[in-house]
Amino acid sequence: MKNISWRHHYLPVFYLKGFTNQNQKFLIFDKEQNRFIKKGKEFSPSSYFFEKDANTFFKDGEKDDFLETKFLARFDDKISNLFEQIQSSGPENKFSVSENDMPMLQNFVNLMYWRLPHRRNDLEEYLQKEDLKGFGLFVKNEDGSTDENTIKFEEKLKNDSEFKKSLGFLMSMVDTVKMVNCRTPLTIQPFIEGLPYVCSDNPVLFESENKPKVYEDDFIFPMSGNMFFIRANKTKEYNLVFKLLVDTLVFKQAVKYVSFSDMRYYHSLNEFYNKHFKNTAELRKKIFAYIKENDTQQNL
């Protein structure tokens, strides 16, 4: 009997390993409960940021995890190898990243954004507005024509809860195609060791929280605890204060779970946020105003 996976990570385990402490673990803060899980117990990366059977298809009493194992896992494996290559290299040789690698990293950001559980409402809304064609799908007869039967079948798909599990993956592919016209520079920005690490269930930062154009808008994506992938005109002069700002927003824009490599960093980020900002909109504005500037003398 086929062994079906069930623990489906919306943040891949290889990615989460980049935010762990010296024990290869992290602490989990529950934002809804406003407390650390099990009083600050350390957890392995595989323990959180997943949903049970999120990518499992159920039909007629049978289960199939092909979306997880044949699509998402395979892509994650390729990206994992690229991450290892980048992290074992350095800026002096551009992290050994080729021009072909950058689109793959961008595709990963797209996928990370759309596979997050709280994006399902956006995907559902987009499906109802744009139909299947918005996801690059068309229901036609063999001769390319459409009729009452094709229309009925499309409506059936649109209302199929199992089919909808694939929408995040499909949308990431569509966004990647749209990305061809974007000319804003992509930069890998490392930081010297010094600050602890933070990650959350909402790790991609955009200037607008409300339906950003993932394939076009400036973004900041933490690749690990000490490295960011950035799309912006500003390509250098990022310092530890900038990292502190980004870490704070990654924490504050979380939906439910936040990981910390050190509990003290939770208190430091809270104190920093409460001292300097009234709300996350103000923090977000400051971050994105900075990355839009080519003037490296602008103060944070």
Burial of 39 (0-12, 13-18, 19+ CB in 10 A): exposed
Distance, CA of 218 to CA of 232 (rounded, Å): 5
Q: Whole-prediction pTM value?
A: 0.93
The H-assigned helical ranges of 88-166 are 101-114, 120-130, 148-158
- pLDDT tens-digit series, residues 184-205: 889 999 998 888 999 999 999 9
- Interatomic CA distance for residues 22 and 112, integer angstroms: 25
Planar angle of CA 246, 249, 253, nearest 5 degrees: 145
Q: Are 110 and 176 in contact (CB under 8 A)?
A: yes
Sorted by sequence, the CB contacts under 8 Å of residue 44 that are 6+ apart come out as 24, 25
Region 59-77: mean pLDDT is 92
Give 112: exposed, middle or buried? Use CB within 10 Å, 0-12, 13-18, 19+.
buried
pLDDT of the residue at 244: 95
Please tell me the predicted confidence (pLDDT) of residue 299.
Answer: 56
Q: What is the pLDDT of residues 223-266, one digit of tens each?
A: 999 999 999 998 888 999 999 999 999 999 999 999 999 999 99
Q: Average pLDDT, whole number, for the chain?
A: 92
Residue 160 has pLDDT above 70, yes or no: yes
Spatial separation of the C-alpha atoms in residues 297 and 50, rounded to whole Å: 41
- Residue 181 binned pLDDT confidence (cut-offs 50, 70, 90): confident
CB atoms within 10 A of CB 255: 13
